[in-house]
């Protein structure tokens, strides 16, 4: 029986399909020829991607997709209830608001500098080939989103500038097409004040979804973000497919995709190259006084057939995880030159549970550390204090974080620089249930020793196997275990 094709995501004018070839990750083993045909359309081409995106399709049409060596596949595009073409950037919000439910705003080829847009429910945005939707360079053109209306920053309610694309309490939205959205990060002063405020507000995102449901983002290039690129916050049923997310390597905290306090999130065939983490899964954090009224869990996240080419981490959980993160499945991905592969980070004072994190059939090329788990992460103003950094047991209460049940299977790691795994738990709450099976690992020749985790008192290493402290880990015996903490370390 030939391999199958499955539907990943769909909008009225685009579709993402997964070519289910065994063991393939982001790329197919070799290019595959295809033909797409139906009423009024007959196209041919080749693809080298497992998740293949087809653009500029006729709405409400049934099409047949034939790929060499695969079973035939048929798909019906959803309808479009009317469309308007953007021809005056000053009218973009008016046109978007004036659409009927199910209507489409078409952004044609060309550069369109628009003030930040607020997307209502039941809207489609189509970014045509050659379209560039660009944020203004003047920060004064960005409205401020108050803390009580969805504004947040690093896990806490906080005022922030609105993104070039924002949706609040909206549902049934799609943004698709081969075009580009430029968030304006390099055009103004955004990257000059990464952890500060201007006009008592934090930096903007590029795409900010707040309290939304049923959103599909399919195909476009998202670049040059002021801070986090895509930030879904307290959302459900989201699909991100076939995107390219890229920011300069030195741009501060420009994470790629950060689902926070969300449920049912699918990330398929996305290519990342960022100035920080590629994917960072979050669930808010308690305030300094332990406040938790704003917390919600993140659960049921799947990451599949993605390529992470650069960044501090490939898939990261935390450090804002106080609401709890569970049921995360990462499979069939490629990570190249990311500092860490799978990274889980937290600290005392956060509370919350991270559990049920499963990674399978993932390749790592030139990473510092494949698996990094750190419960002494020195974030926030008190990150280097004895409360956070001491290795002496502390009282266990609702501010004590928990990490358990992490599995890695069918791993191929080449030129690992520092360690295959570095796991630093709390003495009062050790990490439990970490299992590594079927790992094929080689180490880089003569790397410079460095500290593998962002915690105090750790020794520099290079070419190490499994480094643990207060962590129960089962790993192949050809990955020898060793200590993490310097023998004479005492926190200040």
285 occurs within a structural domain:
no
pLDDT of 388-437, one tens digit each?
999 999 999 999 999 999 999 999 999 999 999 999 999 999 999 999 99
Q: Averaged over 90-100, what is the pLDDT?
A: 98
Helix (H, G, I), strand (E, B) or coil at 48: strand
- Are 201 and 311 in a shared domain? no
pLDDT of amino acid 111: 98
pLDDT of 17-43, one tens digit each?
999 999 899 999 999 999 999 988 999
Which of residues 276, 309, 342 is at a domain's end? 276
pLDDT of amino acid 490: 81
Q: Which of 208, 312, 376, 470 is catalytic?
A: 312
294 occurs within a structural domain:
no
pLDDT of amino acid 68: 96
CA–centroid distance for 90 within its chain: 31
The number of distinct structural domains making up the chain is 3
pLDDT of 450-492, one tens digit each?
999 999 999 999 999 999 999 999 999 889 899 998 877 888 6
| b/e 163-188 (16+ beta carbons within 10 angstroms → b) | bbbbbbebbbbbbbbbbbbbbbbbbb
- Are 342 and 383 in a shared domain? yes
Q: Terminus-to-terminus CA distance in the chain, angstroms?
A: 64
DSSP 445: S
Instruction: For residue 66, give the H/E element and its range.
Output: strand 62-67
Q: Averaged over 231-259, what is the pLDDT?
A: 97
Who contacts 292 (Cβ-Cβ below 8 Å, separation ≥6)? 286, 322, 323, 351
Q: Which of 276, 332, 339, 368 is catalytic?
A: 276
- Are 90 and 115 in a shared domain? yes
Q: What is the CATH number of the domain that holds 47?
A: 2.60.40.10
Q: How far apart are CA 180 and CA 345, in angstroms?
A: 32
455 occurs within a structural domain:
yes
* Cis peptide bond N-terminal to 383, omega within 30: no
pLDDT of 158-172, one tens digit each?
999 999 999 999 999
Q: Which backbone phi and psi does 97 adopt, to 5 degrees?
A: -65, -35
pLDDT at 104 over 70: yes
pLDDT of amino acid 488: 76
- Are 16 and 160 in a shared domain? no
Using alpha carbons, select from 440, 451, 425 the residue that is nearest to residue 479. 440
26 occurs within a structural domain:
yes
* Number of Cβ atoms within 10 Å of the Cβ of 224: 25
Residue where the block lists tokens 């100035």:
275
Residue where the block lists tokens 């090329």:
365
292 occurs within a structural domain:
no
Who contacts 308 (Cβ-Cβ below 8 Å, separation ≥6)? 272, 278, 279, 314, 315, 333, 334, 335, 336, 338
Whole domain around residue 30: which residue ranges? 5-76
284 occurs within a structural domain:
no
pLDDT of 115-153, one tens digit each?
999 999 999 999 999 999 999 999 999 999 999 899 999
pLDDT of 301-332, one tens digit each?
999 999 999 889 999 999 999 999 999 999 99
pLDDT at 291 over 90: no
289 occurs within a structural domain:
no
Q: What is the CATH number of the domain that holds 186?
A: 2.160.20.10
- Are 87 and 23 in a shared domain? no
- Are 232 and 318 in a shared domain? no
pLDDT at 44 over 90: yes
The DSSP result for 372-436, as a single string, is: EEESS---STTTTSHHHH--S----STTS-EEEEEEEEEEEEEEE-SEEEEEE-BTTB-EEEEEE
- Are 416 and 307 in a shared domain? yes
Q: How far apart are CA 420 and CA 265, in angstroms?
A: 28
382 occurs within a structural domain:
yes
Q: Averaged over 232-257, what is the pLDDT?
A: 97
Which of residues 33, 56, 76 is at a domain's end? 76
- Are 270 and 371 in a shared domain? no
- Are 99 and 65 in a shared domain? no
276 is catalytic: yes
CB of 129 within 8 A of CB of 153? no
Which of residues 56, 76, 96 is at a domain's end? 76
Calculate the average pLDDT of the chain.
Answer: 96
Q: How far apart are CA 301 and CA 232, in angstroms?
A: 12
- Are 128 and 237 in a shared domain? yes
- Are 146 and 72 in a shared domain? no
pLDDT at 202 over 90: yes
Q: How far apart are CA 38 and CA 66, in angstroms?
A: 11
pLDDT of amino acid 492: 64
| b/e 294-317 (16+ beta carbons within 10 angstroms → b) | bbbbbbbbebbbbbbbbbbbbbbb
pLDDT of amino acid 148: 85
pLDDT of amino acid 491: 84
Using alpha carbons, select from 400, 345, 390 the residue that is nearest to residue 369. 345
State the pTM of this model: 0.97
- Are 125 and 148 in a shared domain? yes
């Amino acid at each position: 029986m030939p391999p199958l094709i499955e539907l990943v995501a769909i909008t009225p004018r685009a579709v993402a399909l997964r070519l289910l070839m065994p063991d393939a990750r982001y790329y197919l083993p070799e290019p595959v020829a295809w033909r797409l045909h139906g009423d009024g359309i007959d196209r041919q081409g080749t693809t080298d991607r497992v998740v293949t995106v087809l653009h500029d399709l006729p709405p409400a049409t049934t099409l047949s997709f034939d790929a060499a060596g695969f079973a035939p596949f048929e798909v019906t595009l959803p309808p479009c209830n009317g469309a308007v073409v953007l021809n005056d950037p000053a009218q973009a919000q008016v046109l978007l608001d004036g659409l009927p439910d199910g209507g489409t705003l078409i952004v044609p080829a060309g550069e369109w500098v628009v003030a930040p847009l607020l997307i209502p429910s039941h809207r489609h945005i189509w970014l045509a080939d050659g379209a560039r939707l660009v944020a203004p360079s003047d920060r004064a053109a960005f409205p401020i989103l108050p803390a009580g209306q969805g504004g947040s920053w690093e896990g806490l309610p906080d005022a922030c500038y609105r993104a070039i694309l924002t949706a609040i309490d909206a549902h049934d939205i799609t943004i698709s097409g081969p075009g580009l959205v430029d968030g304006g990060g390099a055009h103004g002063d955004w990257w000059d004040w990464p952890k500060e405020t201007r006009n008592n507000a934090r930096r903007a995102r590029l795409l900010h979804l707040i309290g939304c449901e049923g959103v599909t983002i399919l195909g476009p290039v998202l670049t040059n973000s002021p801070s986090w690129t895509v930030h879904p916050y307290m959302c459900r049923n989201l699909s991100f497919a076939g995107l390219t997310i890229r920011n300069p390597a030195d741009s501060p905290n420009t994470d790629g995709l950060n689902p926070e306090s969300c449920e049912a999130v699918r990330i398929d065939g996305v290519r990342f190259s960022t100035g920080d983490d590629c994917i960072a899964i979050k669930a808010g954090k308690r305030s300094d006084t332990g406040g938790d009224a704003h917390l919600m869990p993140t659960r049921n996240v799947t990451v599949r057939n993605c390529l992470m080419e650069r960044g501090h981490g490939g898939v990261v959980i935390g450090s804002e995880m106080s609401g709890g993160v569970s049921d995360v499945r990462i499979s069939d991905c490629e990570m190249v030159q990311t500092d860490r592969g799978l990274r889980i980070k937290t600290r005392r004072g956060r509370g919350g549970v991270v559990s049920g994190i499963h990674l399978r059939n993932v390749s790592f090329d030139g990473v510092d550390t494949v698996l990094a788990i750190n419960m002494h992460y020195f974030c926030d103003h008190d990150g280097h204090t004895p409360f956070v950094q001491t290795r002496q047991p502390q009282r266990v209460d609702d501010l004590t974080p928990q990490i358990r049940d992490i599995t890695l299977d069918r791993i191929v790691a080449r030129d690992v620089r520092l360690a295959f795994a570095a796991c630093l738990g709390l003495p009062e709450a050790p990490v439990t249930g970490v299992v590594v099976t079927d790992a094929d690992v080689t180490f880089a020749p003569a790397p410079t020793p460095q500290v593998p985790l962002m915690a105090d008192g750790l020794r520099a290493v290079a070419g190490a196997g499994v480094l643990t402290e207060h962590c129960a880990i089962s790993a192949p015996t050809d990955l020898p275990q060793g200590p993490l903490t310097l023998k004479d370390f005492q926190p200040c």
